Amino acid sequence: MRRKPVEVLVAEGGQGEGGTLRRSLTMWQLTMISIGATLGTGIFVVLGEATPKAGPAVTISFVIAGLTALFSALSYAELAGSVPVSGSSYSYSYATMGELIAWICGWCLILEYGVSVAAVAVGWGEYLNELLDGTLGVTIPETVSAPLGEGGYVNLPALIVILLAMVFLMGGAKESARVNTIMVVIKIATLLLFCAIGFLGIKAGNYTPLAPLGITGISAGAAVLFFSYIGFDAASTAGEEAKNPKRDLPRAIMLSLVIVTVLYCMVALVAVGAMPWESFEGTEAALAQIMKDVTGHSFWGVVLAAGAVVAIASVVFAVLYGQTRILFAMSRDGLVPKIFAKVDAKTGAPRANTVIVSLFCGTLAAFIPLGELANATSIGTLFAFALVNIAVVILRYTRPEMNRTFRVMLFPVTPILGFVFCAYNMYSLPGLTWMWFGGWMVVGLVFYFGYGMHRSQLGNAPSELATAEK
């Protein structure tokens, strides 16, 4: 139950083995990191799954899902402004609920970020094949574009996109942020282009009846779409590389959520107006199909496929960044090996950390059929969100005098609702997902009690520090 004082967490900011992280990120770049980690497969893939459940009211489902995410986003914003460090919800838990809970949270984040990078990379390979087919009339053979057990031997495209992200990340936070910003601008432009072209094909009759499956359908659609918002917390992992973290982190988190929600709703509104909602059933690339139908040319479908390739690559990039920074914080605390906290003096980037994480995720994506393990990322994410909502309540009551650049509105109702929504979504997940999650937790606890607990910096610190926050 030993807790790490907030002052110690903040004082350690940026310090690594052999160097320090550099504060170079502006609010705009932090916002782009969050958008980069969020805006991707959700709109290009999940829209096709949610529309048959909600009908034309899928736009309302997006709004409900966004409001659900908003409760947790507000808690993230307050904590990011109060405890601006790289560990995100792991560090917030360490300061409020103790080392064991922090470890469990960090272990969930490793699942969320690490496995989702691999899963998203697999999706990137599928869109790359669509782009190649539309431009050159060729596709990558299945033997080198699918893992063992799924018709191939290795998923080479998935491995390539992760290795490319690794190369850019090794250049340092500032250079990485520039690359990410370019990719995010391209994918936002692609979605705005879809809205402009799709608007020409809107038929008013496609909006009626608005909710053919009733409130139940809208709720079911919102449950599916909630996971399209996962990633807005990525900016909180950049707390030690932001120029003005106390001011900029809360703004970046909230601004990214607003931008993503507006884009989702615009695209959904145009999509269901341009194509009957029943036609979304079984359609994997609904947006590309709408572009082709409205214009009568396959060229625009190819443009959208190109945008999707960039969009999903940026998700890989931003999420991989977040994973390395969380492991950096855990390593500095002694809970994972010290190599993850080693910082290159020239670039200010944790290069060894980046290489190890990238190779691990690349191996998962290239050779392992992820299946239900990919679905388990959802439960890990929701668990971390739930802990953040608890942490903001604990810190508000235990440290009321702390300087907060952002405060959750309607406290404590908002974080309580955030926790309830997370718990409900976790409860709604299938039993097999819970089994995978339980297995992951067992492995994590074995690692903690066998390694992390004994090497903890706080556990081996002077007794007055280790007990200061008990």
- Residue 328 in any domain: the answer is yes
Residue 90 sits in a domain whose CATH number is: 1.20.1740.10
Tell me if 252 is assigned to some domain: yes
Residue 402 lies in a domain: yes
Question: pLDDT per position in the chain (470 positions), as tens?
Answer: 788 888 888 888 777 777 788 888 999 999 999 999 988 767 777 788 889 999 999 999 999 989 888 999 999 999 999 988 888 899 999 999 999 999 999 999 888 888 888 888 887 877 788 788 888 888 889 888 888 777 788 889 989 999 999 999 998 888 888 999 999 999 999 999 999 999 999 999 999 999 999 999 998 888 888 878 888 888 899 888 999 999 999 999 999 999 999 999 999 999 999 999 988 886 666 787 888 888 888 888 888 888 888 988 999 999 999 999 999 999 999 999 999 999 988 888 899 999 999 999 999 888 887 665 666 777 888 899 999 999 999 999 999 988 889 999 999 999 999 999 888 888 877 888 888 889 989 999 999 999 989 998 887 766 545 444 44
Residue 390 lies in a domain: yes
pTM: 0.90
- Whether 288 maps to a domain, the answer reads yes
Partnered with residue 470 across adjacent β-strands are: none
Domain coverage including residue 198:
31-456
Distance, CA of 373 to CA of 167 (rounded, Å): 27
332: in domain? yes
**What span, in angstroms and rounded, lies between the C-alpha atoms of 111 and 465?**
31
Classify residue 12: in a domain, yes or no. no
Of 5, 29, 10, the C-alpha closest to 256 is 29
Instruction: Report the alpha-carbon distance of residue 376 to residue 362 in Å, rounded.
Output: 18
Q: What is the dihedral sign for C-alpha 404, 409, 411, 415?
A: negative
Structure tokens at 292: 């082709």
* Residues with Cβ within 8 Å of residue 439, at least 6 apart in sequence: none
How far, rounded to the nearest angstrom, does the alpha carbon of residue 385 sit from its chain's CA centroid? 12
Task: State the total domains in the chain.
Answer: 1
- The answer as to whether 469 is a domain residue is no
Coil, strand or helix: which one is 17?
Answer: strand
